[in-house]
Every structure is written in C-alpha cells, then in structure tokens.
Amino acid sequence: MAQSFPVQRTCPFAPPPEYERLREQAPLVRASLPGGEVWLVTRHAEAQQVLMGAGISTNPATPGHPNHLLSAEPLMPERLEALEQTAVGHFIDLDPPAHTRFRRLLIPEFTVRRVKELRPGIQRFTDQLIDDLLAGDGEAELVEAFGLALPSLVICQLLGVPYAEHEFFQSRTRLMLSAAKDPKAGFAAMMEIRSYLDELVTRAEASPEDDLLGRLINTGQLTHDELAGVIFLLLVAGHETTANMIPLAALTLMRHPDQLAALRADPSGWPMAVDELLRYHSIVDWVAFDRVATEDQKIGGQLVRKGEGIFVLGASANRDERVFERPDEFDAARGARHHVAFGYGVHQCLGQNLARAELEIALRTLFERIPTLRVTMADEDLPAKYDGFIFGLTALPVAW
C-alpha cells in the first residue's frame, strides 16, 4: 500500500517519524497524493542523483509533474492562467537552457566575494535589532523581533524594496506558504505580492538604482514580467527560509548548552555549526524538490518511467545513516557541508552563501551579546508550522 503524502512533522527537532521507516524500506517508495501517486526519494545518494537533473525536469508544465497531484481538484481555467502569468521569471521552475539564462545573470550577486561585501551591513542590522531587544524589559518574542526582521532588512536592501513595506510582503508570504490550509487565501496573497512587485519594477525601470534590481534592469536581458518574477522569487525565498531557520537554530543551540559554550569559546566553529543546523532541520524538505522523469531510468535500482512524478525528501536524505553517523543527533562540529538542504546540482540554491552569512552573524552575535538567553516555554508547547510548506516556529518567547 502506498504511503499517504505529504506527512506532517510532530516535533520541532525532527522530520516526520515515518521517514526513517521509508528510508529503511527502499531508496524510492510509492506515495499516494490526493490526485494520484508519485515516487518519494528517501536516501542521500539517490537524492543527489535526481537533483543533478539528468533525464529529470523541474518544470511544472512537464507532463506528470507531481505538483498537480497535491490537490484532487483541477485548477479553474482563470486560476491556471493567472499562475502561468505569475510564473514568468521563476527560474527555479525552468530546465536548462532557459534556467541557465537567468542563473548566469544572478550568480555575480551571490558569490562568496559579493556576500563578504554584504557582511558589514548584515552585522549592523543584527546589532541594531539586538539593541532593540536589550532596550526592552528582559523578555521578547524572537520570531517576530529577530528571526523575521533580520532577513527582511537584508533582502529589502538587496532588492531595493522599501523596508517600510516589509510587513505587507511578510504577511502575504505567510498566507501563500500556508496554502495547504487555505488555498484560496494563499492564491490571493500570491497575486497581491505579484501586483506589488509589478509596480515596484515599473518604478525601478524609470530610474534604476545601484541595487540588484537596478543592475538586472541595466543588463537589458530581462522583460518586465521576467524581472517581476525574479524579484518575487528572491524576495520570498530570500527572507522566508532564513527567517524560519534563525529561531529554530537558536532554540536548538539553547537546548545544547555545552555545544553553544564551545562555539562562544571558539567562534571559528560557527560556519560548521550553521551547516549542521541546516542539515538537522531541513525546513524546506520536499517543497523545492519536485521533479518528473523525462525518460525511463533506474534510480536506486528502481525503474522510473517517463512522466512519473518524484518528490525528493530532503529531510530524510539529510538523516540518511549511510552518510551521516548518528544522524538524529545535533553535532555542531560534524562538518555536514554535503547536506542537501540547499539542493544539489544545477538548481542548488543561488542564495546559499547569503543564507549562511546571515545565520552565522545572527546566531553568533545573539549569543555573544545575550549570553543568558533562555526559552520561557516548554518545547512541546511551542507553536510550530506543522501544516506549512516550509517548517518553522510561529513564536519563540525568550528571556535573559
């Protein structure tokens, strides 16, 4: 009998418990979605094989793509038309060479060297937010005041989005990423964001600034709709994932005080700790790893036919015992750089250098400046996004 999917998490520190059983069962297993069946990739080696992209498509327009099976009801024609229009410029949903055209334009904005230039600004934002925390009464809610605020400041500056309007896109992004719970509200929120960005691009085209959007405009290689789509993608992906990781990572470190003390004593360990946190939580899991076979092929010894949909379970691959010793344990000194939290191959996350820098600076500075930070709620009572597409906490009350 096929595994019912998606499977919800039940613990802030672990993927769904069913993943371990599926991983033991086979590298690929059949799963039942509301609209049909797909393959789930459970292990690390096969995850890398699929994400490399040979004979595999990420494009939702490819026949058999699994995203269309997440709902038993077909999309209404007007909604399908709107989705197709807003998808212009969403290069993560394109296959090479179309994908390559966008990625080549964006790579210079996210190199190690470019992110190094951004680090002082990230540090200033971080210090200001912590100043605001310390100016309070010794208590705070870390998700809103720090986890969401820092990536929003960074991505707004990077893209030329006025920070005064960050609450608008934060609230709409939350609705959009909770579409499994309320598809109509999620769709409406997505269209609001797209409309806002359409106006933003129009203003920028009239007078390009020296920011990422302005530089993309000045290349002359993207249409208006493509620019809006690219900015939509970067805006949502550039703040939502990191915003969820910062509070989860802080919680995990507070629950491992010996490892936190070691990091405070030797800050050179922070980059390694960040990669372990990314592996350990794998908050995106399967959402960005939707694929479809474009030719018959063997994956993990299993024949996958052309047109069959695939979801790579990133949270399962990152707990694969064949690759990571004691995978369910958090080990800040593990050296887990070969995790697949950022994907793998041609679609590996373009902003991973920026995400690593934000996490490292945020966490290091937070615990350096507030060494007595503690959570004021039991783990089992913490509100978590168990039904969201991207996992995280909705609140993390702390005191010092």
Per-residue pLDDT at 173: 74
Q: Where are the domains of the chain?
A: 3-399
Per-residue pLDDT at 225: 93
Kindly give the confidence (pLDDT) of every residue in the chain, 400 residues in length, as a single tens digit, with 9 standing for 90 and above.
688 899 999 999 999 999 999 999 999 999 999 989 999 999 999 999 999 988 999 999 899 999 888 876 665 565 555 556 667 888 999 999 999 999 999 999 999 999 999 999 999 999 999 999 999 999 999 999 999 999 988 988 888 877 777 778 777 877 776 655 677 787 788 888 888 889 999 999 999 999 999 999 999 999 999 999 999 888 877 778 999 999 999 999 999 999 999 999 999 999 999 999 999 999 999 988 999 999 999 999 999 999 999 999 999 999 999 999 999 999 999 988 899 999 999 999 999 999 999 999 999 999 999 999 999 999 999 999 988 789 999 999 999 9
Per-residue pLDDT at 181: 63
What is the rounded (10 degree) CA torsion for 27, 393, 360, 354?
A: 70
Q: How far apart are CA 245 and CA 281, in angstroms?
A: 8
Per-residue pLDDT at 84: 64
Q: Tell me if the domain spanning 3-399 has CATH number 3.40.50.620.
A: no
Q: How far apart are CA 111 and CA 113, in angstroms?
A: 5
Secondary structure element (H or E) that encloses residue 194, with its range: helix 183-206
Tokens coding 202:
């129009």
Q: Distances in Å between the alpha carbon of 124 and those of 162, 199, 275, 372?
A: 17, 29, 23, 22
CB of 253 closer than 8 Å to CB of 120: no
- pTM for this entry: 0.92
Per-residue pLDDT at 350: 93
Tokens coding 76:
């209404």
Q: How far apart are CA 276 and CA 339, in angstroms?
A: 8
Say which residue the tokens 């179309």 belong to: 98
